Each structure stands twice: as structure tokens, then as C-alpha cells.
Structure 1
Amino acid sequence: MKSDNNKRKLHPRNQHRERYDFDQLTQSSATLVQYVRLNEYGDASIDFSNPQAVKALNQALLKQFYGVSVWDIPKQYLCPPIPGRADYLHYLADLLSELNDGQAPIGKCVRVLDIGVGANMIYPLIGNREYGWHFVGADIEVKALQNAQQLIDANGLSNAIELRLQTSPPSIFKDMIRQDDAFALTMCNPPFHGSLEEAQAGTKRKWQGLAKQSAKHTTDKKSTILNFGGQSAELYCEGGEEVFVTTMINESKQFSAQCLWFTTLVSKAANLPGIYRALKKANALKVNTIEMAQGQKQSRIVAWTFLNPSQQRAWVTMHLTKHLL
């Protein structure tokens, strides 16, 4: 299989570091066949600006690499890039390995809270198949959770993934972390933009980057919303990424003893100074910033804990010992 230099930036355990093998992928999912064509270099590929083609690719990847037999999302919901989503999970496993003699812990005793699980439910699907972790997926969208529940049922994952509806959208952890909960990790892919207009501007840049020149993919307001994919809660919130993450940090302190590590993706490096200030104000005891890259896209994970080293060891003994030993 040919290598892909851009994919070499992915985590060493990421299964998608090589160029996609479309012969194998089309065997996993016949739906993908209709979208595969030769690119200008004579290599098999798909049109990544075609949402249906990307969804078919995701279905094939999830089936071939993770044994997910059924996966689909409603129209206008985000269709996530599988390699980058897998990277987040692998780096979280590394974070836990620091308390496990350098080995990534596996098994159901590792419980993870996914804030904004979405209709695609991609993190719980990959995280459960790769590490056997159990997940709670939280979201404010009823329709998203309905689709996610269908995926749970279709793939026989009702014992591994639980969904919770956040009925108070301004809140993030409230009511999602219950009194008897203990999570090794929380994770989140926060809304990137600060407004609908900003999201639409980002869409236009996306199409330009994909070199979409044909008239059928114009970037007028109607087609922008349709082609971009993503509900409002997935794409933007008032104040954008920095405000969302700052709110998350402020709330996390209330649940400091129930979570070993809180984490979030941060797409905009310019937001980091404000996020670090919020973490300092919240008295986070340790903050890790983990750089990630997929192709030309740069991102990072910010992780924080309110537990000192001895408290972390005590937390592991109480909640993970059976798993880690």
C-alpha cells in the first residue's frame, strides 16, 4: 500500500496513516463503488467535496477498520473525517497511559463523557472498538440523539454507550455528570464559529480549498448551508470556540473529583491564551496541550485536571484498579 506523507502526521496507532485502499474499501461497502474515480495522478479517490461520497467513505472505513456494520446520519448533520477523530482518542489513551506504566488502558472500566456526541456518534464508536471503553454521549439535539440511539441499537452497543439529553443548553456538565458518575476522561469537539455568518464564510473557504468550480456547487446562502453540513449547535455558538471552552472550564471545577482528565479540542491557536487564563483562574493543577495534525490542518487537545499526583493515583485505585492491573 502506498504511503501518504500527510497522513504520517497522524498518531502512530492510527489505522489511517496509509493511503486509502479503495479496492478493499469497496469490498467492505458496495455503496462506495459509485463514487470512486481516478484523480489527476491516476490514483483511485473520491470527490471530497461531495457529501454523499464522503459519507460512503466513512461507512466503508467504519466497517473495515472498526467493525461498525451500520452507520448513517440525517441530511445536514456533520460528516466527520474519520482519521482526525481517531487521533483524538489515541492521544487520550496516551494521557491515561501515564498512570498505567506507559500502556494505553483498555476495557469497560474506562468511562468517557463525550460532550456534543452528535448524530454521527463517531468518538464512542471508534473508542469502543479500539479500546473497549464505555461512553456517555451528551447532546442538546433530540434528533441527533435519536439517530445516535439507532446506531447503538443497530450495532449491538447498548451495554457500551449511553446517551443523555442536555435540556439546559447553557450548561455543559450539569446533569450530564451525575452524583454517582466517575469518568476517566471527558472529551469535546466544540462549536468552531461564533455566528452563522462566520460559519458561512468558513464554508466558502472550504469550497475554495476543495477547488469547487462547477456552477452546481455555488456558494450562495442556500447551498452554503446545505452543502456544508452541520446543525447550528455543531457549527457555532455565541462567542465561538473560546467562550464555549471557557464555560466548560468554569463548570468543570464543580466536578473536579469525578473526572480524572477534562479535555477538549481547540482548533484556533489564537484562542489558547484566553483558555489558559481561564484554566489558571479555575485553579487547574495540571494542563497539557497535545498538538495534532492531519494534512495541512493543525489542531490541538487541551487537557486539564484538578487532582494532584497522589489524588490521581487514589482516583485510579478507586475507579480503575481492576482494569489497569
Structure 2
Amino acid sequence: MHINNLHKDGYDFKQLAKTLPELARFVINKVARRPTIDFSDPLAVKLLNQALLKHHYKLDYWDIPTGFLCPPVPGRADYIHHIADLLAGSNVNVGNIDNIVGLDIGVGANAIYPIVGSQVYGWQFVGSEVNPASIQSAQNIVNANPNLKNHLTIRQQFNAADIFKGVIQTQDRFSFTMCNPPFHANVQEASVGSQRKNTNLARNKQKRTGSISKKPEHSLNHLNFAGQHNELWCQGGEVAFIQKMIDESQHFATQVQWFTCLVSKKENLKGIYQQLAAVNAHEVLTINMSQGSKISRFVAWRF
């Protein structure tokens, strides 16, 4: 993980359970192993997030509605820290909090990126969202935490076909935009992806405990990899979404210093680079991130 990531040394479950006592009953202590939780248990994962956000980011309240994405905080934090590096490499003083404003496309019900960015760096954020339930959840988080109230403004995207249009206003100036786009092309593909993740979790749990899960296969879809359709899939999948984002970005070239977006699959980069060339992006970077054995990346461009 990034050297500045607060989670790079793993989870201190003893301390986290002190911060959030409700987590304690979900902590698994195995002989000769570090404490952990059952990551296939959605309640355990949500409580872990609540403990992390309370302990490291000083939140009094954080929650999400049932069926919405529960984000892995360390990986989300890495994206923020690498954006800080991107800005610093462009001679931006990342500590000058009065001048740094980020736009989170798809802030979601969890508002995780503005939480990390505001509490670690003091940045301001605008978060866009199409789902009214997500907007209400994110706004509840802001309203319940005094340290977020002056750092995050949520704007509804009324046209789901648009990304920046209808969100970026004439007077806006953003240091960066960021986005965790829908990965899949349709609901069937999203369901298969979620089931694969949960199957891997069940296999890892069996190796760890020696027991076989009794949960029926149809129950896998409601575990911690749940998500609303706009969080998981869109017509044409990730490539189509990012290409649309790139196409729109050229119309806001003077208002945004860096556009960025996560790319889940390395093989999708070719089509993304082609679209960036088509709009004559002045500079394009691909920034790799590593969390254990998982490699992720985001593409950054400017005009």
C-alpha cells in the first residue's frame, strides 16, 4: 500500500474493538494467526468499516442502507493518497487546503472518498450521485459528523446518461475528479462477479477453519459484495463508461486540472488510451496501486 496509508500495516483488531465494542464479538482469534473477521459476513464487514472510520477518521456516525456497496477502506484510501502524489508532482501544494477541491463522480451511499480526503488532507469535495437513496445516506453521514459538514457538498445528477454535464457548474474549479466506475456490462455479469468473490471468500474461510459453509449458493448474492445496479453495471461496461467520461471531459478542460478514473481490468486500457488520443488529451498517466496480491490502477489525464 501507499506509504501514507494508515492501514498499510493491517488492522489492529484489539484497538478497533475498543473503539467500537460491537465489533469484538466478530473478531476471530486463531492460534498462531493474527486476529481477523469473517469477511463473508456483511455485518462483520460493516462494523469493521465503522470502527476504522471512527478510529482513524474521527467519524461519530457512518452507516449504509442494506444492499449498498460496503467499500474496503484501505484500498479506497490508496486512491486518495496517489491523487495527492499526482497533485504534488504537478507542483500543487496538497497542504494548501483552501485551493484543493475534488469532484467524486458517484459518491455513493458511503461517501468514502470525501471522508478520507477531507480528514487526511483537509480537502473540499463535491460528490455527484444519481440514486436518491444514496444521496440521502451520504447526506445523513455529513449531517451527523461536524468535521464533514464544511468539506462535502452533494449534487444530484438528474440525467443518468451524463457524467460531468449537469454537475460541473460555470463557476467551479476542481483540482481533480475521481471515480470508481461500474465494472460490468449487465446485471448477469455483475451477479457472476459477485458470486465469484463470495465463493473465493468461502473457500478461504474453509481453509482457515477447516469447516464447510452451510450457506446455500443462492444466499451468496446478498453478502458484502452487494450493490445497486448503478454501482455495479452500466450499458457497455467499464470501457463505455470511461470513454463517455473522457468525451465529456474535454468540455470542462479549463475547469479541471486532472481527470482521473479507476480501471479494474488492465485489458481495458487500450480502448481508453484510444479515446484519450481522440480528444487530444495533453498528458496521460496510468498509476498502479498495490494492496497485497491485488493490483489496481487509475488513469489520469489533462488538457
TM category (shorter chain) comes to: over 0.9
Partner of residue 132, structure 1: 122
CA distance in 2 between partners of 1:42 and 1:129 (Å): 32
Residue by residue over 1:30-72, the C-alpha shift from the partner in whole angstroms, topping out at 9 and shown as x without a partner, is 1111111124643211001111101111111111111112100
Q: What letter is aligned with 2:118?
A: N
CA distance in 2 between partners of 1:261 and 1:104 (Å): 14
Gaps of 5+ in 1: 1-9, 307-325
Percentage of matched positions with identical amino acids: 48
CA distance in 1 between partners of 2:36 and 2:2 (Å): 23
Once the two structures are superposed, the pairs formed by residues 84-163 of structure 1 within 5 Å of their partners are: 84-100=75-91, 104-156=94-146, 157-163=148-154
CA distance in 2 between partners of 1:268 and 1:278 (Å): 16
TM-score scaled by structure 1? Answer: 0.87
Q: Residues 179, 22 of structure 1: CA spacing in aligned structure 2 closer, same or farther, 3 A cutoff?
A: same
Partner of residue 217, structure 2: 219
User: Is the 1:78–1:230 Cα contact (8 Å) retained in structure 2?
Assistant: yes
Aligned with 2:104: secondary structure?
A: strand
User: Is the 1:289–1:300 Cα contact (8 Å) retained in structure 2?
Assistant: yes
Residue by residue over 1:204-238, the C-alpha shift from the partner in whole angstroms, topping out at 9 and shown as x without a partner, is 2112211264122x332xx3432231100000111
| 1:279 matched to 2:276 | yes
User: Is the 2:27–2:35 Cα contact (8 Å) retained in structure 1?
Assistant: yes
Work out which of the residue numbers 246, 255, 258 in structure 2 matches 1:258: 255
Gaps of 5+ in 2: 206-211
Aligned with 1:278: secondary structure?
A: helix
CA distance in 1 between partners of 2:235 and 2:30 (Å): 40
Q: What letter is aligned with 1:110?
A: I
User: Is the 2:94–2:100 Cα contact (8 Å) retained in structure 1?
Assistant: no
Once the two structures are superposed, the pairs formed by residues 26-105 of structure 1 within 5 Å of their partners are: 26-39=17-30, 41-100=32-91, 104-105=94-95
Q: What letter is aligned with 2:251?
A: Q
| 1:296 matched to 2:293 | yes
Q: CA deviation at 1:19?
A: 2.4
Q: Residues 40, 200 of structure 1: CA spacing in aligned structure 2 closer, same or farther, 3 A cutoff?
A: farther
Q: What RMSD in Å do the two structures reach over aligned CA positions?
A: 1.3
User: Is the 2:195–2:221 Cα contact (8 Å) retained in structure 1?
Assistant: no
Aligned with 1:174: secondary structure?
A: coil
TM-score scaled by structure 2? Answer: 0.94
CA distance in 2 between partners of 1:42 and 1:14 (Å): 23
CA distance in 2 between partners of 1:112 and 1:203 (Å): 29
User: Is the 2:194–2:226 Cα contact (8 Å) retained in structure 1?
Assistant: no
CA distance in 1 between partners of 2:199 and 2:119 (Å): 35
Instruction: Could you list the structure 1 runs, at least 4 aligned residues long, displaced by more than 6 angstroms after superposition.
Output: none
Partner of residue 314, structure 1: none
Aligned with 1:37: secondary structure?
A: coil
Q: CA deviation at 1:108?
A: 3.4
CA distance in 1 between partners of 2:254 and 2:197 (Å): 41
